[in-house]
């Protein structure tokens, strides 16, 4: 069956297609991809009844031309109608509870309205419209209130034979009567919130697709793709159906376990390994801190390698302290305070760069790490070594040879954690780490371009058995951070966690796993050739631009990129660079300003220029956020990053056609050229 979300009967050039309306209509309809796609539901327009809005259950939505003349208003009505149809289908054979459809559709539409840009809301301000009036009242929705709004039932005129707000509906409405884009920005922290003008979060991306932007920001974060968004939206509708059929708790537990199994399958991880979901890489560090003190009764020292290229909150989390002022479950806490139940620990930070900003050699880093572990071992403490593979600028440390050398230390008590948060690893790399007994931290939001804030720990069988063999409980303060379903439900230590569910985390992971699956569908030979082709071009393009100075080329100092075997961890896929003007490096403030301008339409600044320049200025280009790095030994600057992401490959592999595959990669290489040209334009004309 085909998805039908067609606006029919609109082939005549009505007032809707007058020149001044077309551009605005197109901009509004770009958000139509956030409206659920439901099989066999047609949208039919009516000129004969211009004020009509009618829902024909399971069949269609009829909308009058006067509503379509106001594109934002039409979008609100269509969002309501499609949501109502989604819940109506979910009711199954018994259609007596249509009041649930009214409740859910209105709640979703209220949230959808709140997520509109400020400019769109202004268009709705002075309209005399029943639905907009209801949305603005923002009342607590229940069946006692709804009789006041009989017009809702007039939209569909279905007989609601059971006007009772069932208790079982509450968790379903609370968790699933929300737009998919809202779920994708929930269950994290304030950094996922979006501004009211461009709808961008702190990472410069959206919780719904942004196809108009050139995007090579996988070292930081990426807007969700159309493909992953649609798949995740479909999952929401399936969860609604399953929750109404089986009950919310059972349906959600099944979904959580399905996600973990799908992640194992995507990365070909051994079934005996356990997975812990977390909202972010920093949350994963907090989970590591908890696991460590469950396993060992000794005093603990964490040795954090690449401390200057990890998340800023990670050292705080490893100490068992709050790293933000709210938790992912929205509990208020005080940043820096101890979390209840954590013991005191020591933390040794080993940065990749020295005090002058120079990158240390691999040998020097190995020496520092071995020395720190040896001294800690002499004190009789348990060591947790956090190895980096790869950092935000693409480095790895310590070397495998140094880790092997640790075996010379007699009766060393150690747990090795591999920070693979960028997930620039092949499945065999992950399994090799797990086979050695290492815990691996990953995210689905970096290389694989899932929405920001989906982290996980992969725990090898040997460590899982150690955790489950002791009767220690997790620190009680973690109940403010995680639910039981986030952790392995078989572990005794996690049973004190709450029975709730972090749907934001689940939906983000669903989108990330969708990206993993389609990436791995590209045959490995073409995948590897495409990666080499793209990365070679980016490297050359940066080196050829006189106003860019690459911060790469010294790989032998600190990683294994010279390995002859092909693999994501053996080639450079993150390309950081300084920006120069008149042969002087930009200050970090100017780099950050350029980053924002690059990701914006700045064509208004060039209204008197040629059409080519206006188009270049209008193009939104999203690349990796600025990272503060010293230029030379004394100038504080910052680098930006262009990075390979999985979508460069997966979105190029179409219809199993090799020639199209390489041509599509070439088109993305052309986008790199545009990005560099826009940097040059900003340098010359604005900064």
Per-residue model confidence as pLDDT tens digits over 371-404: 999 999 999 999 999 999 999 999 999 999 999 9
- The Cα–Cα gap between 135 and 204 comes to 28
- Give the whole-number percent of the chain exceeding pLDDT 70: 92
Per-residue model confidence as pLDDT tens digits over 586-618: 999 999 999 999 999 999 999 999 999 999 999
Residue 26 located in a structural domain? yes
Q: Which domain holds residue 1?
A: 1-158
Residues 506 and 562 in one domain: no
Task: State residue 266 phi and psi, 5-degree precision.
Answer: -60, -40
30-59: string of b/e by CB count within 10 Å (b at 16+)? ebebbbbbbeebebbbbeeeeebbbbbbee
Residues 565 and 614 in one domain: yes
Domain boundary (501, 517, 533) is at: 517
The model scores a pTM over 0.75: yes
Residues 433 and 558 in one domain: no
Would you place residue 577 in the very low, low, confident or very high pLDDT band (cuts 50, 70, 90)?
A: very high
Residues 482 and 554 in one domain: no
Q: Which residue in 38, 106, 37, 56 sits closest to 77, CA to CA?
A: 106
Per-residue model confidence as pLDDT tens digits over 61-113: 999 888 888 888 989 999 999 999 999 999 988 888 888 999 899 999 999 99
- The Cα–Cα gap between 642 and 638 comes to 14
Residue 189 located in a structural domain? no
Per-residue model confidence as pLDDT tens digits over 27-53: 776 777 788 888 888 888 888 888 899
Per-residue model confidence as pLDDT tens digits over 259-287: 999 999 999 999 999 999 998 889 999 99
Would you place residue 141 in the very low, low, confident or very high pLDDT band (cuts 50, 70, 90)?
A: low
The pair of structure tokens assigned to 643 is 């990075």
For the chain, the domain total comes to 3
Domain boundary (105, 131, 158) is at: 158
3-7, 234-238, 278-282, 456-460, range with the lowest pLDDT: 3-7
Would you place residue 655 in the very low, low, confident or very high pLDDT band (cuts 50, 70, 90)?
A: confident
Structure confidence at residue 4 (pLDDT): 41
Which residues are CB-contacts of 274 (< 8 A; sequence separation ≥ 6)? 458, 459, 464, 488, 490, 491
Residues 501 and 644 in one domain: no
Structure confidence at residue 3 (pLDDT): 44
Residues 513 and 525 in one domain: no
Burial status of residue 12 (CB atoms within 10 A of its CB: 0-12, 13-18, 19 or more): exposed
Residue 193 located in a structural domain? no
**Residues 501-512, mean pLDDT to the nearest whole number:** 96
- The Cα–Cα gap between 592 and 626 comes to 6
Residues 566 and 643 in one domain: yes
Which residue do the tokens 């005399």 mark? 128
Residue 242 located in a structural domain? no
- The Cα–Cα gap between 123 and 48 comes to 25
Structure confidence at residue 143 (pLDDT): 57
Residues 493 and 529 in one domain: no
Would you place residue 294 in the very low, low, confident or very high pLDDT band (cuts 50, 70, 90)?
A: very high
Residue 169 located in a structural domain? no
**Residues 544-558, mean pLDDT to the nearest whole number:** 82
Residue 267, domain CATH: 3.40.640.10
Which residues are CB-contacts of 129 (< 8 A; sequence separation ≥ 6)? 73
How do strand 7-8 and strand 42-46 relate by DSSP bridges? parallel
Which residue do the tokens 């956020």 mark? 625
Structure confidence at residue 553 (pLDDT): 74
Residue 58 located in a structural domain? yes
- The Cα–Cα gap between 419 and 589 comes to 29
Residue 440 located in a structural domain? yes
Residue 200 located in a structural domain? no
Domain boundary (479, 497, 517) is at: 517
Residues 512 and 624 in one domain: no
Residues 482 and 580 in one domain: no
Residues 505 and 572 in one domain: no
Residues 16 and 133 in one domain: yes
């Amino acid at each position: 069956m085909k998805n039908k979300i067609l606006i029919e009967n609109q082939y005549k050039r009505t007032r809707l297609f007058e020149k001044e309306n077309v551009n605005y209509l197109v901009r509004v309809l770009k958000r139509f991809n956030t409206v659920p796609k439901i099989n066999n539901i047609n949208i039919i327009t009516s000129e004969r009844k211009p004020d009509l809005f009618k829902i024909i259950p399971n069949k269609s939505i009829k909308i009058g031309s006067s509503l379509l003349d106001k594109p934002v208003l039409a979008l609100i009505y269509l969002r309501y109608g499609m949501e109502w149809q989604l819940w109506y289908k979910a009711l199954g054979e018994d259609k007596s509870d249509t009041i649930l459809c009214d409740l859910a559709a209105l709640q979703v539409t209220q949230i959808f309205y709140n997520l509109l840009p400020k400019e769109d809301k202004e268009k709705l301000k002075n309209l005399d419209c029943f639905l907009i009036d209801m949305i603005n009242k923002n009342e607590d929705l229940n069946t006692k209130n709804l009789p006041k709004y009989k017009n809702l039932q007039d939209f569909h005129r279905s007989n609601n034979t059971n006007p009772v707000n069932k208790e079982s509906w509450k968790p379903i409405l609370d968790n699933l009567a929300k737009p998919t884009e809202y779920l994708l920005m929930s269950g994290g922290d304030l950094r996922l919130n979006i501004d009211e003008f461009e709808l961008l979060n702190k990472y410069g991306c959206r919780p719904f697709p942004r196809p108009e932007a050139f995007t090579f920001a996988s070292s930081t974060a990426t807007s969700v793709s159309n493909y992953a968004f649609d798949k995740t939206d479909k999952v929401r509708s399936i969860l609604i159906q399953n929750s109404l059929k089986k009950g919310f708790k059972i349906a959600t537990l099944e979904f959580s376990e399905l996600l973990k199994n799908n992640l194992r399958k995507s990365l070909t991880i051994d079934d005996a390994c356990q997975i812990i979901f977390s909202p972010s890489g920093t949350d994963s560090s907090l989970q590591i801190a908890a696991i460590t003190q469950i396993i060992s009764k000794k005093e603990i020292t964490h040795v954090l390698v690449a401390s200057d290229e990890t998340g800023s909150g990670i050292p705080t989390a490893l100490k068992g302290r709050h790293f933000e002022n709210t938790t992912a479950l929205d509990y208020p806490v005080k940043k820096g305070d101890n979390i209840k139940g954590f013991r005191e620990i020591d933390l040794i930070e080993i940065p990749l760069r020295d005090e002058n900003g120079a990158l240390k050699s691999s040998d020097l880093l190995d020496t520092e790490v071995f020395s720190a572990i040896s001294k800690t071992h002499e004190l009789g403490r348990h060591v947790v070594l956090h190895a980096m593979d790869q950092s935000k600028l693409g480095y790895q440390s310590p070397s495998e040879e140094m880790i092997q050398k640790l075996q010379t230390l007699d009766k060393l008590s150690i747990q090795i954690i591999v920070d693979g948060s960028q997930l620039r690893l092949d499945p065999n790399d992950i399994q090799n780490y797990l086979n050695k007994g290492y815990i691996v931290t990953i995210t689905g939001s970096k290389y694989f371009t899932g929405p920001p804030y989906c982290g996980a720990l992969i725990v090898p069988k040997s460590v899982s058995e150690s955790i489950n063999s002791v009767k220690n409980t997790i620190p009680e303060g973690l109940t403010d951070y995680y639910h039981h379903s986030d952790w392995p439900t078989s572990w005794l230590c996690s049973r004190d966690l709450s029975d709730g569910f972090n749907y934001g985390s689940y939906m983000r992971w669903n989108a990330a796993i969708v990206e993993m699956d389609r990436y791995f569908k590209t045959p490995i030979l073409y995948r590897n050739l495409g990666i080499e082709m793209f990365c070679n071009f980016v490297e050359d393009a940066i080196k050829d631009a006189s106003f860019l100075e690459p911060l790469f080329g010294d790989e032998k100092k600190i990683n294994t990129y010279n390995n002859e075997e092909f693999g994501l961890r053996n080639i450079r896929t993150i390309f950081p660079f300084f920006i120069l003007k008149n042969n002087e490096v930009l200050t970090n403030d100017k780099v950050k300003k350029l980053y924002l301008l690059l990701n914006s339409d700045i064509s208004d600044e060039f209204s008197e220029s040629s059409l080519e320049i206006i188009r270049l200025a209008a193009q939104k280009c999203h690349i990796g956020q600025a990272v503060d790095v010293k230029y030379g030994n004394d100038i504080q600057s910052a680098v930006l990053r262009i990075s390979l992401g999985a979508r460069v490959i997966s979105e190029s592999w179409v219809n199993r056609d090799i020639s199209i595959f390489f041509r599509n990669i070439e088109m993305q290489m052309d986008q790199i050229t545009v990005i560099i040209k826009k940097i040059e334009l900003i340098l010359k004309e604005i900064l």
